[in-house]
Amino acid sequence: MSTVTVLGIASIVIGFLCIAAAFHTFMKKYPTVWPVAFGIGAFIFVTVIPVILAVFFATMPGDVTR
């Protein structure tokens, strides 16, 4: 597996942990800033970073990413 693939998988795992943390902090009635912050982090880790990796790095011709 290439470095870009590993980074993408790690980013998605971190994003799902952020989703779980947002749910946990919401259910435990923590201040609103915590679930929102985890939700924003989840959005970035699950969507933004994998898309950037896929569009700009995984599509490079040749074997540049290894």
48-54's contacts with Cβ under 8 Å and 24+ in sequence apart are 49/7, 49/8, 49/11, 50/8, 50/11, 50/12, 53/4, 53/7, 53/8, 53/11, 54/8
Q: Is the pLDDT of residue 66 over 70?
A: no
Amino acid at 49: I
Its pTM stands at 0.84
pLDDT tens sequence across 7-44? 999 999 999 999 999 999 999 999 999 999 999 999 99
Predicted pLDDT at 63? 56
Each domain of the chain, given as residue ranges in start order, spans: 3-57
